[in-house]
Amino acid sequence: MRIHPFLWRSMLYVPGNQPHMIQKCMRYGADAVIIDLEDSVSVEEKEDTRILVDHALKQPMWDCSPIKTDLLIRINGLHTPYWAEDLEMAVPHQPVAIKIPKVESPDSIRTLDRGLEALEKHHHLPLGQVKLVLTIETAKAFLHLPELCACSSRIVGLGLGSEDLLTDTGIQREHLSFLRLQLVMIARPFDLMVLDSVFPDYHNPEGLRTEAQLAHSSGMNGKSAIHPDQIPILHQVFSPSAHQIEWAKEIVRQSGHNKGNAFSYKGSMVDEPILLRARMMLQRWEEGYE
Amino acid sequence: MKNYDRMVDVLTEEKERVTEAGSNRQGDVHLVFRKAIGPCCSLHLTTPYERIFGQHLRSIILNLARENGLEGVSIEAEDHGAWDYVFQARFEACCRKWLQKI
């Protein structure tokens, strides 16, 4: 397990057809914003929205975030006629990653990968600069997960699309944890981040906290948000507490005295995996946690 | 008779040639292009910020119409607090649809 290059505890969705939301989205301190061209935009508005987002991304407002906020763009699914034009619009703006919904087949990801490469060449961007996040929303995608994880070196994360997945499989919400664990277990050998779905009831902070804690304890790295009020809760849940940081510092300090051997700290044994976890927590904390 | 019917169809189509883009959402502008009589472009803009930005917004739209070579179009713009780039994007979208219909 390694430290991931991105810190995406909170990923705020912004509908691409809502200018007033686009204009404000960088102010809220989310780790990432996802400009959405997919589900929040009706078929009639697809083209107009693409033009609007293209113009919006040329504006200087993208530098006003109080923290480093990564830009992602969710394009339309690879089974639709819209994704190629979405990609053409998106790449010149150099988003950190493209989020792909309703992923099913590794072949379609390979096709998109080739398209991305051609666009990067055309716009004189470093090859492989634009990363991919695949959203797993169907049982068929679960079936192909290892193949999907391995099909492009651009892939940095998997997102769980829980609403579509529950609809597709008939699984009830209380069993979502099983799917989260399964996703984490398959993504980890490929060093991919795993990101949880949105919590749709944005008037229910406690419900969000409970669901985020479940995702966090399942090994997920972050969660999508649909309202700015959800961001601080996600940052709390997906960041180590002051107590945990203190613990990690102490473990690392004591490991120096014990020269790599297992040792006892406050009555618990500390060996290599625990030391590694403490080091990762500190490294991540020093790199970006508030 | 057949030719006459076709001519009526064409004239009706021309008269009803309408395209639109944008919406009445906050921060957006709703643009409607209609076929006008004569080569000029006319503009009817409503904005809650008439006193401050009215002239500026009119000049954005009329400049875009000129740059895009639009002729004989009546433009209706209903502003809901849109920034300049939103006007530009919605104009581009409306204009593409208009040119597709020619």
Q: What CATH number should be reported for the domain holding residue B37?
A: 3.30.230
C-alpha–C-alpha distance, residues B87 and B22, integer Å: 9
Q: Which of A17, A47, A55 shows the shortest C-beta gap to B88?
A: A55
Q: Which of B21, B86, B93 shows the shortest C-beta gap to A19?
A: B86
C-alpha–C-alpha distance, residues A90 and A51, integer Å: 11
- Select from 3.90.330.10, 1.10.150.130, 3.20.20.60, 2.60.120.260 the CATH code of A10-239: 3.20.20.60
Which residue of chain A comes nearest to B30, CA vs CA?
A48
**B6 min Cα distance to partner chain A (Å):** 30
- Token pair belonging to A85: 């034009």
- Domain range for B81 is 18-100
Supply the pLDDT for residue B39. Answer: 77
Contact A52 B90 (CB under 8 A): yes
Chain centre to alpha carbon of residue B3: 31
Is the pLDDT at B13 greater than 70, yes or no?
no
Which stretches in chain A have pLDDT values below 70?
1-5, 63-67, 287-290
Supply the pLDDT for residue B85. Answer: 97
Return the axis-axis angle of helices A46-56 and A83-90, rounded to nearest 10°.
10
Instruction: Please answer whether residues A52 and B90 qualify as being in contact, where contact means their C-beta atoms are separated by less than 8 angstroms.
Output: yes
Query: Based on the structure, what is the number of domains in chain B?
Result: 1
> What are the chain B neighbours of A47 within 8 Å (beta carbons)?
93, 96
CB atoms closer than 10 angstroms to residue A99: 27
Tens digits of residue pLDDT in A166-208: 999 999 988 899 999 999 999 999 999 999 999 999 999 999 9
- Most A CBs within 10 A among B30, B86, B87, hence the mutation to make, goes to B86
DSSP tag of A44: G
Q: Any alpha helices (H) in chain A, and if so which ranges?
A: 19-24, 46-56, 83-90, 106-122, 139-143, 145-150, 162-169, 176-187, 205-217, 230-238, 242-257, 272-287
**A17 min Cα distance to partner chain B (Å):** 9
Q: Which of B21, B82, B93 shows the shortest C-beta gap to A19?
A: B82
∠ CA B61-B67-B68, rounded to 5°: 90
Which residue of chain A comes nearest to B83, CA vs CA?
A19
- Most A CBs within 10 A among B32, B68, B85, B87, hence the mutation to make, goes to B85
Name the nearest CA neighbour of A12 among A288, A285, A234, A241. A234
Within a domain: residue B45?
yes
Supply the pLDDT for residue A68. Answer: 78
Cβ neighbours for A217, distance < 8 A, ≥ 6 positions apart: none
Within a domain: residue B10?
no
> What are the chain A neighbours of B23 within 8 Å (beta carbons)?
17
C-alpha–C-alpha distance, residues A148 and A153, integer Å: 11
Residue type, A16: G
Supply the pLDDT for residue A196. Answer: 97
Within a domain: residue B5?
no
Touching check for B24 and chain A: CB below 8 Å?
Answer: no
CB-count burial class (<10 Å; 0-12, 13-18, 19+) for B67: exposed
DSSP tag of A203: T
Instruction: Map out the domains of chain A as residue ranges.
Output: 10-239, 246-287
Supply the pLDDT for residue B37. Answer: 80
**B38 min Cα distance to partner chain A (Å):** 28
Supply the pLDDT for residue A243. Answer: 84
> What are the chain A neighbours of B93 within 8 Å (beta carbons)?
47-48, 51-52
**A223 min Cα distance to partner chain B (Å):** 28
Contact B93 A47 (CB under 8 A): yes
**A57 min Cα distance to partner chain B (Å):** 10
Q: Any alpha helices (H) in chain B, and if so which ranges?
A: 2-15, 50-67, 84-100
C-alpha–C-alpha distance, residues A244 and A248, integer Å: 6
Coil vs helix vs strand at B17:
coil
Touching check for B30 and chain A: CB below 8 Å?
Answer: no
Is the pLDDT at B101 greater than 90, yes or no?
no
What ipTM does the predicted assembly reach? 0.86
How many CB pairs (< 8 A) connect A and B? Answer: 46
C-alpha–C-alpha distance, residues A97 and A73, integer Å: 7
- Token pair belonging to A237: 């849940």
CB atoms closer than 10 angstroms to residue B83: 19
> pLDDT band for position B34 (50/70/90)?
very high
* A12 phi/psi in degrees, rounded to 5: -85, 120
